[in-house]
Structure formats: C-alpha cells, structure tokens
Amino acid sequence: MSFATLGLAPALLRAVREQGYHAPTAVQTAALPPALAGSDVLALAQTGSGKTAAFALPLLQRLVASPPRPGPRALVLAPTRELAMQTAQLLRDLAALLMQRPKIALAFGGVSINPQLMALRGGCDVMVATPGRLLDLLDHNGLTLAGVQCLVLDEADRLLGLGFADELQRVIAQLPARRQNLLFSATFAPAVESLAAELLHEPVRIEIDEAPPQITQRAIQLDRAQRLPALRQLLAEQGWDRCLVFVASRYTAELVSDKLFAHGFKAGVLHGELSQGARRDVLEALKAGSVKVLVATDVAARGLHVEALDAVVNYELPRSAADYTHRIGRTGRAGATGVAVSFICADSAENAESHFRLIEKRQGQRVPRERLAGFEPQAIATEAEATGGIKSTTRKSKKDKLREAATRAGG
Ligand code: AMP
C-alpha cells in the first residue's frame, strides 16, 4: 500500500516523503480513505502507531479544499501539552508544502495565556489545544468554535478520564452540530463507546490487529542500593543511544540524573516542575543526541515521541499497569525494536515483586526474572513468593556468610 493509492494530494505526498514515511502504517491505511471522504472515524490507535498523521493528513487535505472562515475550521484536542505540541508540529511540517498554508494555532495550560491570545488575533485555521486552556481562550473571546468542520479527539480515552470529561463536554457544546469527528483512542472502554455513540455519526470503526511492538521486556532483581551502579553498568554495556529512565518523583529524577552526569553520562532530566522552556530544551537535546539518558517522571510517559529510543528503564516501577504500558511504549515504535528493563527491588517499601506480578497479569505476559552478575540481591523474593507460594527468604546473615567462608577455607 502507498500513500498515493490512499488518495493523498501531491503536496501532502511530498510532505510525507519529507517526513521519511515511505509507506502508510496500518492505522493510516485504514483511516485515511474514510477520513478523506468526510466520514466520522473511531479508531483504536496507540501512540506509536502513526495515529497523528492518520488524522493530520486528511484534516489538512479537506481544510485546503474548504473556503477560509474567521475561526478555526478544525479543532484537535489532546490531553497533555506535550502531545498538543507534537501534534501541532506535525501539522505544521505536513502543511509546509501546501499552496495555501493553513495557520495552525497551539494552546495549552501552565503558561501565560496572553501570547496565545495574541497569536489568535489574526484568526487561525486549525486549533490544537488541551481542553482547559481552550475553555480559557473561549472565555476571553480569543476565538469562536462556530466554524469548526472537523473535530479530532486524540487519546480520547484520556480526555474522557477524570479531570477532562466535564471540560470536554463544555467544548463540544460550543461546536456546530454538523461536522466531521475523528476519534482516536488507546482503548474501546465503555466510556469511549458511549461518547462515540453520542458524538459520532455512522462512524467507520477501525481496530487494527497489529503485531505487538517489538519490545523485549526484562525484569532485574536487585537491591535498592544497587540500582544506580547497575544502571551505570547497563548504560555502559548496552550501547543505547537514547534511553529513558523512569522514576517516581521529581527528587529522584534530579538525583539520578545528577549522579549519572557526575559519572560522565550525557544525562538530562524531565519532570512536571520544569518550565516549559526547560522541558522543550531537554527533549531537543535528546533528539539531537547531546542528551542520551533522560531521567523522567511519568509526565514524560504519555504522548512523548522521540525517534529511535533504544531502551526504557523502570528505575522505579510505575503505579499502574496502564502507566507501565505507556512507559515501555516509548520504545519499539513504528516498527523499531526496543528494550524495557524494570528493576525489581525485594527490599523496597512497596512490595515490588507482587506489584510487578500485577502488572504482568494485566498485560497477560510473564517477564523472566534476571539478576545481574555483581549486583545479586541480598534480599530476594523467590519464585515461590513471586507466584504467591510459600514464603521463603534467602537472605544470609553476615555470620552465615563468614561460617560458609570458613568451611570453604577449611576445605
Ligand atoms: P504517532 O503514533 O503519531 O505518535 O507516531 C509515532 C511515530 O511514528 C512518529 O515518530 C512518527 O514520525 C512515525 N510515523 C508515523 N507514520 C509513519 C509512517 N507512515 N512511516 C514511518 N514512520 C511513521
């Protein structure tokens, strides 16, 4: 299958070539024809499947064919600023070769609203926004949604989750009834289905039975105190060019990145308390290769895409199985292979072994436990414990070790 046979206009065909896309991904192959024809689409698509282009291309192609209006003609809603930024960037890149280049506006919270209001002064053709900030802009009369012909909900399952659902409904209430709706979601959970039923008109439903991404999962048992030296060894041995290390808090993110940096690694840090500029800079540095190890909290887990990320390390386990899936999904993207390493610490406060077992259960996959030579844990949760069997501890006391050594020495 080629992009040309899917009905893309010549300027967009050139644009996808410039992006380095040689052939459409499965979701693009399925979504492009109905979306170009103006149908509503409900697509099951994860970040990494090429979903952004699956809605961006038809959106742009239909936009250039419709007469200009004062307000945006297309509205793309995304749950996070990172995702909104990446989507706006792809839209701008793809639109760069169009004869009448549409104006793509971007808005998200956590930064001053004034520059965003200023940017909307001359109007825009496409608005990419997080829902809360879009409502703020509407309250400030920064724009009107009366001319929207196409609505995209990116990561609709998240937009429907806690904290967004009300805002989403308020935005939808301001849209004209006649419009195209493109809804992309990582799941077809009941909430998504019921929104889809309310929102979409005879949608084309796309569910791709794609081969799972090529991610090798590893689970390494070790003691908490060994995590940093073990990570350093992995980084040194594995030759990963770009790697994301996930931790649970801003404090640990700073600490681990500082320690790696002090040991000569090109380490950077990404967490929610950094300024927008600092976040952008570190992501750019990762892309450019001046940062090779990015230590991040879950802020970075969603939406973020960095080409050719070789590995994800769960230095600390995520809270939920869903977060685990999102974290490891940062690697092995768009056909590339990747590795996801999780540190399982038997001496952690929260029982890491049973927590990881839950994660395995949720994703229906067992990851063999390993130990790294030189970093064997002193406190090991045995396989019997791991499978919920009899409790046994293999931790040896100092005395036991001395006794064993004496026996060995004594022959
Ligand atoms: P997305 O799911 O939109 O976040 O895209 C994931 C990654 O796949 C991005 O890095 C895209 O640049 C890349 N990508 C999207 N479509 C294609 C394609 N047709 N061929 C190769 N890479 C693609």
In angstroms, what is the span from residue 249 Cα to ligand 1's centroid? 30
Ligand 1 centre distance from Cα of residue 164 (Å): 26
10 Å CB burial of residue 373 (0-12, 13-18, 19+) is exposed
How many other CB atoms are there within 10 angstroms of residue 14's CB atom? 15
Pick the residue whose CA is nearest to atom 22 on ligand 1.
Answer: 21
Is the pLDDT at 382 greater than 50? The verdict is: no
The pLDDT value given to residue 305: 62
**307 Cα to the center of ligand 1, angstroms:** 9
Whether pLDDT at 56 is above 90: yes
pLDDT at 126: 98
Q: Measured in angstroms, how far is the CA atom of residue 50 from the centroid of ligand 1? A: 4
**Structural domains of the chain in order of their starting residue, each with its CATH number:** 3-207 (3.40.50.300), 214-386 (3.40.50.300)
Q: What are 78-124's pLDDT values in tens digits?
A: 998 889 999 999 999 999 989 889 999 999 999 999 999 999 998 99
Predicted confidence (pLDDT) per residue in 66-81, tens digit:
888 888 999 999 998 8
Q: What's the pLDDT at 73?
A: 97
Of all atoms in ligand 1, which is nearest to the CA of residue 49? 2
pTM reported for the whole predicted model = 0.61
- Per mean pLDDT, which of 37-51, 61-75, 182-196, 254-268 is the most reliable? 254-268
What does DSSP assign to residue 65? T
Using CA atoms, how far apart are residues 154 and 78, in angstroms rounded to an integer?
5
* Residue 168 predicted with pLDDT over 50: yes
Pick from 84, 130, 110: nearest CA to 304: 84
Q: How confident is the model at residue 390 (pLDDT cuts 50, 70, 90)?
A: very low
Q: Tell me if 302 CB under 6 Å of ligand 1.
A: no
Average pLDDT, the chain: 86
